[in-house]
Structure 1
Amino acid sequence: MSLSGKVALVTGATSGIGRATAELLAERGARVLVSGRDGQRGAEAVRGIRAAGGEAEFVPAALSGAADARALARRAEELAGPLDILVNNAAIAVFGATAAIAEDDFDACHALNVKVPFFLVGAVAPGMAERGGGVIVNVSTMVAGFGTAGSAVYASSKAALELLTKSWAAEYGPRGVRVNAVAPGPTRTEGTTAQYGTQRLEALGAQAPARRVAEAREIAAAIGFLAGPEGAFVHGAILPVDGGRTAV
């Protein structure tokens, strides 16, 4: 129970990688605040964690900007006390030819994927620093590190998040706050299966040395490593969890 006594907030935690992460952190002893838009799925995630012996509460949040991020941080700390772990997982993916992307879609993607984590960290990290410790893990993507046609909007938002990860490590690391990121490859979730279809998703996974698609739990395990004491000397890292895709 390496996270016993810790309070963790996971955004986008009602499904996919976020839910798997919330479950894993709870298994390791953390009190987990499950954040998301869908109250029914949030309740299901909390019930599952509690049924397994963990501690969790649902904190509803529709995140689109600074005010939403600050309100979430405030509600989370009112409910459970100061946060020890923040996992910035909530995101949307916008794909398509550059000339065909609508401005509203561009703005929505960068608002949730960049602006919300920026202001959520701004609301949470200073308190962590004052207390002398805390962990922030950002969820990026492998395509933040190389060019792919049709991914310009989504990839650029995650590339910004990776640079923010390093900037925050420099800013808050000297005061005991570790900030890192994971960069997943193709991962089997409800969202990716709906977006790509099983066949295309498997084809994407086959391009990596691992020759398969990741399970959400495998990405959560990497997040758990960075969030726990095992990752105590890791600061400002972008950990690829992509089956080796970016290595070839």
Structure 2
Amino acid sequence: MGMSGLTALVTGATAGIGRAVAVQLAQEGAEVVVHGRDAERGADVVAEIEKAGGAARFVRADLADSSDVLRLAEEAGDIDVLINNAGVYKFLPTSGMTDALFDLHMDLNTKAPYVLVRALAPGMARRGRGSIVNISTMAASVVTRGTGMYSASKAALEQLTEVWAAEYAEQGVRVNAVAPGPTRTPGTDDMDAATLKAVADTTALRRLAEPEEVAEAVVFLASDRASYITGAVLDVIGGRPAIG
């Protein structure tokens, strides 16, 4: 219960990695602010946490709208741990991109975390402690077909991670990122077996990660167990297979 007495905000916490992170943070003793767009799914996550003896509440917000992001920060209150997990991914070649889709990726994957950090990190700094973990992707550093918009938005987030780490280090606020590889989420449910195997075979472990496995890395970086780690991007990608 190393996070007893702390409050954590997890964006995109109603499914996949975000949900697993919210549940594990609650198990560590944190009170969790569960963010999402679907109130019913949010209530389900809160109920799961409370059933296990934890504390949580749900706040709905549209992270594509900066004013709504600021409202989320205000309703969340004093936050000790911020997990910027919510995001969007649409895989298209450059010729198939649209201005609207490009803006959506940048707004959700890059601008929303920026607005939340700008709103919440100063309070952490005043209190002399805090931890921020941004969820990036393997595609930010590995060229992957059709991921231009997504990869660019997450690469920008990784750069911001390093900048924020330097800006807030002396005030006791750590900022890190986790870059997952292929992970089993609701988005993989529609994939056929052959596609899933092809994706899994891009890893040395030859399988997809479970959301809980990625969450373990996120919660570690968020916790005092990682007290001397800041400005890092931790790959959780199952290794890379050898060539040949």
TM-score strictly above 0.5: yes
Contact 1:186 1:201 in 2 (8 A): no
Contact 1:25 1:32 in 2 (8 A): yes
CA 246–96 in structure 1, closer or farther in 2 if over 3 Å, else same? farther
Instruction: Identify the residue that residue 87 of structure 1 maps to in structure 2.
Output: 83
CA 148–23 in structure 1, closer or farther in 2 if over 3 Å, else same? same
CA shift at 1:156, angstroms? 0.5
Instruction: Identify the residue that residue 234 of structure 1 maps to in structure 2.
Output: 229
Provide the aligned length of Structure 1 versus Structure 2.
243
Aligned to 2:189, the other structure's residue is in SS state helix
CA shift at 1:66, angstroms? 2.5
Contact 2:204 2:241 in 1 (8 A): no
Distance in structure 1 (CA, Å) of the matches to 2:124 and 2:93: 41
Q: Could you tell me the percent identity over the aligned residues?
A: 51
CA shift at 1:246, angstroms? 8.8
TM-score by structure 1 length? 0.95
CA 223–247 in structure 1, closer or farther in 2 if over 3 Å, else same? farther
Contact 1:142 1:246 in 2 (8 A): no
Distance in structure 1 (CA, Å) of the matches to 2:82 and 2:180: 18
Aligned to 1:245, the other structure's residue is in SS state coil
Instruction: Identify the residue that residue 21 of structure 1 maps to in structure 2.
Output: 21
Distance in structure 2 (CA, Å) of the matches to 1:28 and 1:99: 46
Aligned to 2:82, the other structure's residue is in SS state strand
Instruction: Identify the residue that residue 160 of structure 1 maps to in structure 2.
Output: 156
Amino acid at match of 2:216: A
CA 130–112 in structure 1, closer or farther in 2 if over 3 Å, else same? same
CA 160–18 in structure 1, closer or farther in 2 if over 3 Å, else same? same
Query: What is the RMSD computed on CA atoms of the aligned residues?
Result: 1.4
Instruction: Identify the residue that residue 35 of structure 2 maps to in structure 1.
Output: 35
Structure 1: 5+ residue stretches without partners: none
Instruction: Identify the residue that residue 128 of structure 1 maps to in structure 2.
Output: 124
Q: Structure 1, residues 138-194: CA drift from partner, whole Å, max 9, x if none?
A: 000001012122111000100000000000001011110000000000000112333
Instruction: Identify the residue that residue 59 of structure 2 maps to in structure 1.
Output: 59
TM-score by structure 2 length? 0.96
Contact 2:62 2:69 in 1 (8 A): no
CA 247–165 in structure 1, closer or farther in 2 if over 3 Å, else same? farther
Amino acid at match of 2:236: V
Distance in structure 1 (CA, Å) of the matches to 2:73 and 2:178: 22
Q: Structure 1, residues 51-84: CA drift from partner, whole Å, max 9, x if none?
A: 111111011111113222211100111xxxx110
Aligned to 2:145, the other structure's residue is in SS state coil
Distance in structure 1 (CA, Å) of the matches to 2:177 and 2:241: 15
Asked if 1:180 corresponds to 2:176, the answer is yes
Contact 2:81 2:130 in 1 (8 A): yes
Distance in structure 2 (CA, Å) of the matches to 1:229 and 1:116: 25
Amino acid at match of 1:64: A
Q: Structure 1, residues 30-52: CA drift from partner, whole Å, max 9, x if none?
A: 00000000001000010011111
Structure 2: 5+ residue stretches without partners: none
CA 246–171 in structure 1, closer or farther in 2 if over 3 Å, else same? farther
Instruction: Identify the residue that residue 112 of structure 1 maps to in structure 2.
Output: 108
Distance in structure 2 (CA, Å) of the matches to 1:157 and 1:67: 20
Q: Structure 1, residues 198-246: CA drift from partner, whole Å, max 9, x if none?
A: 5323321222111110000000000010011110000000000000139
Instruction: Identify the residue that residue 208 of structure 1 maps to in structure 2.
Output: 203
